[in-house]
């Protein structure tokens, strides 16, 4: 570990891009989110804007915690099914972690719905969205990751469609909330 760090510093003086790429190995990426949530209304649909702050506030409220130091993050390869969207404490996810969605792109008997180009600079992934209330898919997400040629952080973006409400095998929820959104990674979460 020490050798790696030293190597990065020394080489970095000559070749900054290589050190930059070490940062892009992060599994946690802080997200900026823009979306909408639409619910039923008397005379018109009730649509409200959703940002990363709504996820953060909901998680904090449900846990009785403060929103200080919390961020919405994309956690690559968080479990055996794939990635997760989480709200975590940016100083240490072990201090606060709230799973918003499982983003399952690989599971038993199914090939991963992801591809990478041969240069390893492009990754695109389709995943099913699962909330914490069970094993039923609530939607889908496409994640796009493109490495920067100049050694900066990769460009990571995503597009989501999902719904919230009560799951019933045979009946639609009359109070369903239909949601869509996009996100982009603003920075890697550098953890100790």
Partner 1 sequence: MSAVQIQNLSTRRLAGLCLALSLGFSAAAQERYQLSFHGIERSVNANGNETRRAITTRTLIRDWSNRAGVSNYHNLVLAFHRNVDSRGDAIEVVNRKTGEMVTTVFPLFFPESATSSTARTVKQKRFAYVYNLYHSEFSRGTAILNERLSINRQGVTNRFIVSGEMLWYEIPEGAKPLRIDTGTFKIGRKLK
162 near partner 1, judged by CB under 8 A? yes
- Contact window for partner 1 (CB under 8 A) among 24-32, 58-66, 83-91, 139-147: 139-147
Residue 66: how many other CB atoms lie within 10 Å = 9
Please state, in angstroms and rounded to a whole number, the distance separating the CA atoms of residues 125 and 103: 10
Which residues touch 174 (CB under 8 Å, ≥6 apart)?
40
CB of 99 to partner 1, least distance (A): 11
Coil vs helix vs strand at 184? strand
141 near partner 1, judged by CB under 8 A? yes
- For residue 158, list its beta bridge partners: 143, 183
119 near partner 1, judged by CB under 8 A? yes
CB of 24 to partner 1, least distance (A): 18
Please state, in angstroms and rounded to a whole number, the distance separating the CA atoms of residues 182 and 51: 10
- Contact window for partner 1 (CB under 8 A) among 6-14, 20-28, 89-97, 155-163: 155-163
Site for partner 1 in 51-80 (CB under 8 A): 80
Please state, in angstroms and rounded to a whole number, the distance separating the CA atoms of residues 50 and 33: 7
# residues contacting partner 1 (CB under 8 A): 53
172 near partner 1, judged by CB under 8 A? yes
| Member of 41, 64, 94, 149 binding partner 1 (CB under 8 A) | 41
CB 100 within 8 A of CB 86: yes
| Member of 114, 148, 157, 182 binding partner 1 (CB under 8 A) | 114
């Amino acid at each position: 570990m020490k050798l790696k760090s030293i190597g990065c510093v020394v080489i970095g003086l000559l070749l900054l891009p290589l050190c930059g790429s070490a940062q892009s190995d992060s599994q946690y990426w802080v997200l900026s989110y823009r979306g909408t949530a639409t619910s039923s209304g008397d005379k018109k649909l009730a649509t409200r804007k959703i940002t990363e702050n709504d996820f953060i506030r909901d998680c904090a409220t449900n846990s009785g915690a403060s929103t200080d130091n919390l961020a919405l993050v994309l956690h690559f390869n968080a479990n055996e099914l794939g990635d997760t969207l989480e709200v975590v404490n940016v100083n240490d996810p072990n201090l606060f972690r709230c799973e918003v969605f499982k983003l399952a792109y690989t599971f038993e008997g199914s090939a991963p719905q992801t591809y990478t180009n041969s240069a390893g600079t492009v990754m695109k992934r389709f995943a099913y969205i699962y909330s914490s209330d069970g094993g039923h898919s609530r939607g889908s997400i496409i994640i796009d990751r493109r490495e920067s040629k100049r050694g900066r952080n990769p460009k990571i973006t995503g597009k989501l469609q999902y719904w919230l409400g009560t799951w019933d095998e045979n009946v639609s929820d009359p109070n369903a909330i239909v949601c869509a959104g996009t996100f982009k990674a603003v920075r890697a979460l550098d953890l100790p």
